[in-house]
C-alpha cells in the first residue's frame, strides 16, 4: 500500500480549500457528519473576525469514495468558499510585519495579494477536512484526540491545574477552550482589550491522545522519528512558533530524576489476558514518546501560536510604490484564533498519527490493517519480550 500523504490547494478567497489524501486503506467508512462537525469546530472561538460569519464550511468528497467508503484510491476533498473575491480583492502595498507578505513579494516578484491568498490560515480548513478523515481511521483502532487551551496571551491557569481526560471532553463548552473557569474569564477580557486596542493575541494549546499502541514511529533515522514529524507538522500550521512534547522546555530546567518516567511491571494472572498486567509508567514526563517511538502512554503535545499578524492598529512598514515609511496594510482578520488553532492542531496531528499507523499496520484494506493491528497487540501484550527472554513470562511461576 502507498505511503499516506496529504497536500492542499486553494486560495483564501478563491473557489475553496482542497485536500488531496493518498494512501488511505480501502473500506474506511468516511463518517461525513464527523468531518463537517470538525470543520464547524474550527470556525468557533472567542475573538474571531468577520469571515467566520460568512462561511459555513462543509466538506464534499470529489473522488476516492463510493457507497460511503474509501476505495483505496486518492481522496480529493473540497471545502468551497462563500467569500469569492480572488479576482477583485484590492492589492496591498504595505507588507504586514509577521506575514509572508514581504518575503513572498520579493521571492516571487509578485503582488502581495498573490502571496497572502495562499499563505492565509484559511488553508487550515483543508487540513481539518483531511485530518478529520484520518481521525476516523484512528477511531477504528480506539485512538481519540482531545485538546484545550493552556495559555492565552498573558493569562495562564496555575501550573497545578491539570484537567483529566474526561474534563477535556468539555473544552468545546468554553469559547476559549480553557477548562479553568477563572482563567477563562480573564482570557476573554484579554481578547476584548486587544480588540479595543487594535491588537491581537496568541497562546498555547495542549493536545492529548489516548489509545496509541507502543511502537509507532522509528528510532533509526532522523526523518522517521515521530516526535520530529509531529513537530514539523505542527510548526507548519500558520502562526505556530513552538512545539513541546511531554515536559518539553520545562524538562531542560530539571534533573533526570525529576524528568524521566520509572518503569513498572505487573505480572499477568494465568490464563486469560489481564488488562491490568504489563508495563506501566507512573508518570508521563516523556509525553508518550521515547526515542522517536510511542511508548503506550498518552501522547502530549503543546503548541505555541504567535499573535495574528494583521493588526487593526498597524505597525510601521514601507510603501512598496514609494519606498517611504507607512503603516502596514490592514486586511479583515481575527483578533485571536487560538481556540480554533487547537482544533486545527487536533485534526492535523491525526494525519501524522494515521501516517505512522499505516506504516506500522499497513494493509491495502481496513480489514487487513485491523488483522495486522490485532496480531501486533496480541504480541505486544505478551509480557517480558513475549516470553522469549530468560526470566520472561513463560519462566514466571504461575
CB contact at 8 A, 385 and 391: no
Comparing CB distances to ligand EPS, the nearer of 51 and 188 is: 51
Q: Which range binds ligand EPS by CB under 6 A, 59-67, 260-268, 280-288, 325-333?
A: 325-333
Which residue of 333, 342, 347, 355 would you call a contact of ligand EPS, by CB under 6 A? 333
Residue 365 pairs with which residues in a beta bridge?
26
Residue number with CB closer to ligand EPS (7 or 332): 332
Q: Which stretch binds ligand EPS (CB under 6 A): 19-27, 115-123, 245-253, 311-319?
A: 115-123
Tell me which stretch binds ligand EPS (CB under 6 A): 122-130, 249-257, 280-288, 299-307. 122-130
**Judging by DSSP bridges, how do beta strands 293-294 and 289-290 pair with one another?**
antiparallel
**Integer angstrom CA distances of residue 103 from 21, 91, 100, 111, 117:** 29, 16, 6, 11, 14
C-alpha dihedral (210, 343, 310, 197), degrees to nearest 10: -90
Which residue in 19, 102, 115, 121 binds ligand EPS (CB under 6 A)?
A: 121
* CB of 183 or CB of 333, closer to ligand EPS: 333
Residue 122 as a binder of ligand EPS (CB under 6 A): the answer is yes
Contact between 343 and ligand EPS by CB under 6 A: the answer reads no
Binding-residue total with ligand EPS (CB under 6 A): 16
Q: Which three cell numbers stand for residue 42?
A: 474550527
Residues 109, 317: Cα–Cα separation, whole Å: 18
C-alpha cell at 46: 472567542
Helix/strand/coil for 170: coil
Binding ligand EPS (rule: CB under 6 A), the pick from 8, 38, 70, 120 is 120
- Grid cell in block for residue 240: 505556530
346 near ligand EPS, judged by CB under 6 A? no
Query: What is the grid cell recorded at 57?
Result: 464550511
Does the protein bind ligand EPS through residue 117 (CB under 6 A)? no
Give the contact letters, 71-90, x = binds to ligand EPS (CB under 6 A), - = no. Answer: ------------x-------
329 lines the binding site for ligand EPS (CB under 6 A)? no
Give min distance, CB of 192 to ligand EPS, in A. Answer: 18
Count the Cβ atoms, other than its own, within 10 Å of residue 393.
18
Instruction: Name the residue nearer to ligand EPS (CB basis): 48 or 229.
Output: 48
Give the Cβ contact number of residue 230 at 10 Å: 25
Span of 26-34, 117-125, 130-138, 382-390 interacting with ligand EPS by CB under 6 A: 117-125
66: contact with ligand EPS by CB under 6 A? no
Under rule CB under 6 A, residue 101 binds ligand EPS: no
- 261 binds ligand EPS, rule: CB under 6 A: no
User: What DSSP designation does 146 have?
Assistant: E
Q: Is 331 in the site for ligand EPS (CB under 6 A)?
A: yes
Rounded alpha-carbon distances, angstroms, from residue 233 to 162, 190, 205, 208, 269: 25, 29, 15, 16, 42
Cell of 270: 494465568
- By C-beta, is 268 or 339 nearer to ligand EPS? 339
41 binds ligand EPS (CB under 6 A): no
The least distance separating ligand EPS from the CB of residue 335, rounded to whole angstroms, comes to 10
Within 45-64, which residues bind ligand EPS (CB under 6 A)?
49, 51
Sequence-separated (6 or more) residues with CB below 8 Å from residue 275:
none
Q: Does residue 38 belong to the site contacting ligand EPS (CB under 6 A)? A: no
Q: Nine-digit cell at 217?
A: 514511529
Three-state DSSP state, 191: helix
Cα distances (Å, whole numbers) of residue 346 to 85, 113, 130, 205: 30, 29, 12, 10
Least CB distance from residue 187 to ligand EPS, whole Å? 18
DSSP label at residue 120: S
Query: Counting contacts by CB under 6 A, is residue 295 touching ligand EPS?
Result: no
Among the listed ranges 270-278, 293-301, 326-334, 346-354, the one in contact with ligand EPS (CB under 6 A) is 326-334
Q: What is the largest CA-CA distance in the chain?
A: 85
Looking at the Cβ atoms of 132 and 247, the one nearer to ligand EPS is 132
Strand partners, 266: 278
Q: How far apart are CA 341 and CA 352, in angstroms?
A: 16
Task: Please give the residue ranges that form the binding site for ligand EPS (CB under 6 A).
Answer: 12, 49, 51, 83, 120-122, 124-125, 308, 310, 331-334, 337
Amino acid at each position: 500500500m502507498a505511503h499516506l500523504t496529504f497536500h492542499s490547494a486553494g486560495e483564501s478567497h478563491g473557489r475553496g480549500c482542497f485536500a488531496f489524501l493518498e494512501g488511505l486503506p480501502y473500506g474506511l467508512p468516511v463518517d461525513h457528519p464527523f468531518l463537517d462537525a470538525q470543520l464547524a469546530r474550527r470556525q468557533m472561538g472567542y475573538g474571531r473576525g468577520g469571515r467566520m460569519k460568512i462561511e459555513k464550511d462543509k466538506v464534499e468528497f470529489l473522488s476516492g469514495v463510493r457507497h460511503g467508503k474509501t476505495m483505496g484510491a486518492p481522496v480529493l476533498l473540497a471545502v468551497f468558499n462563500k467569500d469569492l473575491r480572488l479576482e477583485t480583492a484590492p492589492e496591498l502595498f504595505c507588507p504586514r510585519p509577521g506575514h509572508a507578505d514581504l518575503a513572498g513579494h520579493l521571492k516571487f516578484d509578485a503582488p502581495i495579494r498573490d502571496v497572502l491568498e495562499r499563505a492565509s490560515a484559511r488553508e487550515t480548513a483543508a487540513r481539518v477536512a483531511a485530518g478529520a478523515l484520518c481521525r476516523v481511521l484512528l477511531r477504528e483502532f480506539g485512538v481519540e484526540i482531545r485538546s484545550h487551551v493552556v495559555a492565552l496571551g498573558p493569562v495562564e491557569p496555575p501550573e497545578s491545574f491539570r484537567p483529566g481526560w474526561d474534563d477535556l471532553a468539555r473544552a468545546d463548552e468554553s469559547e476559549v477552550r480553557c477548562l479553568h473557569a477563572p482563567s477563562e474569564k480573564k482570557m476573554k477580557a484579554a481578547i476584548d482589550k486587544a480588540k479595543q486596542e487594535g491588537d491581537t493575541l496568541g497562546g498555547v494549546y495542549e493536545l492529548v491522545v489516548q489509545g496509541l499502541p507502543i511502537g509507532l514511529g522509528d528510532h533509526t533515522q532522523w526523518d522517521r522519528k515521530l516526535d520530529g514529524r509531529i513537530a514539523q507538522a505542527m510548526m507548519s500550521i500558520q502562526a505556530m512558533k513552538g512545539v513541546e512534547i511531554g515536559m518539553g522546555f520545562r524538562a531542560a530546567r530539571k534533573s533526570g530524576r525529576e524528568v524521566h518516567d520509572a518503569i513498572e511491571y505487573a505480572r499477568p494472572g494465568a490464563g486469560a489476558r489481564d488488562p491490568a498486567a504489563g508495563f506501566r509508567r507512573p508518570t508521563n514526563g516523556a509525553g508518550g514518546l521515547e526515542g522517536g517511538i510511542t511508548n503506550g502512554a498518552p501522547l502530549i503535545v503543546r503548541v505555541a501560536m504567535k499573535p495574528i499578524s494583521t493588526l487593526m492598529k498597524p505597525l510601521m512598514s514601507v510603501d512598496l510604490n514609494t519606498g517611504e515609511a507607512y503603516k502596514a496594510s490592514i486586511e479583515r482578520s481575527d483578533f485571536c484564533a487560538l481556540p480554533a488553532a487547537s482544533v486545527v492542531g487536533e485534526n492535523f496531528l491525526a494525519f501524522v498519527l494515521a501516517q505512522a499507523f499505516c506504516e506500522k499496520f499497513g494493509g491495502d484494506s481496513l480489514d487487513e490493517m485491523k488483522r495486522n493491528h490485532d496480531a501486533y497487540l496480541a504480541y505486544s501484550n505478551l509480557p517480558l519480550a513475549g516470553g522469549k527472554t530468560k526470566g520472561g513470562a513463560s519462566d514466571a511461576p504461575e
